[in-house]
Structure 1
Amino acid sequence: MAEGRKINADRVKEVGLTYDDYAAIDDGNRYELAGGQLELMSPAPLVTHQIVSFEILINLSRSCELDYFILHAPVDVILSPAEVRQPDLVLIHRKRMEIISKRGIEGAPDLVVEILSPSSLKRDKIDKIKSYAHFGIPEFWIVDPDTGVLEQYVLHEKRYELIDIFQNNELVTSPNIPCVSFTMAAIMDKIPDLSD
C-alpha cells in the first residue's frame, strides 16, 4: 500500500486507490475497486445464490472446459489499475490464457456472470454493466436466482444490448461461446426447499 495511505475498514469509499492498494488490504472483508474507489462487498451470499453459481459452473464445465478456463468467485478481474471486479463466474478462452496471472485475470474475459443478491442488485445491474461494457467484455449474464431467469447482454458499439432472456426449458446458447448449452430449469431444479 502506498506509504501514508491507510485504509479504514469502516469507510467504504476511498479515492485514488490502485490494484496494489487493494491487494494490500487484509482486514477480513471483501472489496471491489471501482474507478479507484474501494467498495465493501456484502457478507457471504445466500445459499441459493451459491447453489445457482455452482450449478451454472458445472453445466458450463460439461460443455466448455476443453476450450475455456471457467473460474468462480472470489477471483480478481483486473480491468485497469483502478478497476478490479469479482464476478461470480468468468470464462476465458484457452487461446487467451496470457491474461491469466497468479493474481487474477488481467484484462477482459470472454464472459462474466453475475448472480443477483438483494444487497448487490444495484451494483450488478447498474454499476457493473457500465464497467464491463467500458472495458470491452464481449458478453455479460445476469442471473436472478429467485425467478430462474438469465438475462444475456452482448457488447455492441461499446454498450450492452439485451439480446435474450432465458427461463425454464429454453436452451441457453451464446453467439460468442458456441459450447454453451444448458437450461435454467436444470439449474433451478437443483435448489432444495430451504428454511429461512
Structure 2
Amino acid sequence: MQRSLETEHYTLTDYCGWEGDWELIQGMPLAMSPSPGVAHQRVSMRIARQMDQALDQCPHCEVLFETDVEFSEDTVVRPDVLVICHPPKGDRLTRAPELIFEVVSKKTARRDEVAKFQLYQDEGVAHYVLVYPEARKAKVYRLTEGEYRKVGDFHDETHSFELSKCIIPCDFSRLWRRRA
C-alpha cells in the first residue's frame, strides 16, 4: 500500500517563531540565506536612495528597505525595496505596496520571476521591477486589468512610476554606477 505524502503548510504564527531569514509563500517556507552579496546590496541601496529622494516632497508615500509584507495568514515576503502610499498598520505592512523592486540573482531568479511575479500580480501591486545587476538591466511591469504588462527593459533610461498619490522618476543609469 502506497502512502500519500501531505505537504506541510505553515502560517504567520509559525513564521514569527523561526530563526534566520525566511519568506513564506502560500504556506511554503523559503530560506533567504545566505545574505545578499555586495552587488545585490549596492544596487538595492541605490534604488532605495533614489526612491527616497524622489519622495522628499510627497507627504503620503515612503520607501522601505527589506521589510516584511504580510499578504495573508500564510504568505509573508520581504521585497528588496518597496514603496507604500498608505500608513502602515502599526509596525507591520498588511497591504500591498504600490511599487516593488526585486534584485535578481541566480539563487533568487525562479522565486522572483515566477512565484513573486504571480503573487504580486494577484495581490494588486501596481508596479513590479525585476533588477538584474550583472546584465545592468531592469524589467518594468505595470498592473493593467489584473495582469502585469511589460512596460520595457531599462538600462540607462529614465522611467516615471505613476503611483496613486505621486509620480516617481527613476533614472536606471544611476543603479549601475556611482554619481560623479
TM-score, normalising length: structure 1: 0.81
In structure 1, what is the equivalent of residue 12 of structure 2? 19
In structure 2, what is the equivalent of residue 153 of structure 1? 141
Tell me by how many angstroms 1:114 deviates: 0.2
Q: Within 1, Cα distance between the matches of 2:160 and 2:126?
A: 14
Q: Within 1, Cα distance between the matches of 2:161 and 2:102?
A: 16
Tell me by how many angstroms 1:137 deviates: 1.1
2:48–2:63 Cα contact (<8 Å) kept: yes
Q: Within 2, Cα distance between the matches of 1:131 and 1:92?
A: 17
TM-score, normalising length: structure 2: 0.87
2:65 paired with 1:72: yes
2:116 paired with 1:124: no
Tell me by how many angstroms 1:184 deviates: 1.8
String of CA shifts for 1:89-127, please: whole Å, max 9, x gaps.
Answer: 11001xx21x4432x311111111100111001100011
State which of 65, 70, 77 in structure 2 corresponds to 1:85.
77
Q: Within 1, Cα distance between the matches of 2:56 and 2:152?
A: 23
Tell me by how many angstroms 1:187 deviates: 1.8
Tell me by how many angstroms 1:140 deviates: 0.7
- Identify unmatched segments of 5+ residues in structure 1: 1-13, 192-196
Partner SS, residue 163 of structure 1: strand
Q: Within 2, Cα distance between the matches of 1:121 and 1:70?
A: 23
1:110–1:137 Cα contact (<8 Å) kept: yes
Q: Within 2, Cα distance between the matches of 1:100 and 1:115?
A: 26
State which of 28, 36, 60 in structure 2 corresponds to 1:45.
36
1:46–1:117 Cα contact (<8 Å) kept: no
State which of 149, 160, 167 in structure 2 corresponds to 1:173.
160
1:91–1:112 Cα contact (<8 Å) kept: yes
Q: How many residue pairs end up in the alignment?
A: 170
2:10–2:29 Cα contact (<8 Å) kept: yes
Q: Which amino acid aligns with 1:16?
A: H
Q: Within 2, Cα distance between the matches of 1:145 and 1:70?
A: 20
Tell me by how many angstroms 1:149 deviates: 1.1
Q: Which amino acid aligns with 1:18?
A: T
Q: Structure 1 residues 48, 23: closer, same or farther in 2, change over 3 A?
A: same
String of CA shifts for 1:53-89, please: whole Å, max 9, x gaps.
Answer: 111111111111443211101x110001111111001
Identity of aligned residues (%): 25
Q: Within 1, Cα distance between the matches of 2:89 and 2:44?
A: 21
In structure 1, what is the equivalent of residue 26 of structure 2? 35
Q: Within 2, Cα distance between the matches of 1:21 and 1:149?
A: 36
Q: Structure 1 residues 176, 164: closer, same or farther in 2, change over 3 A?
A: farther
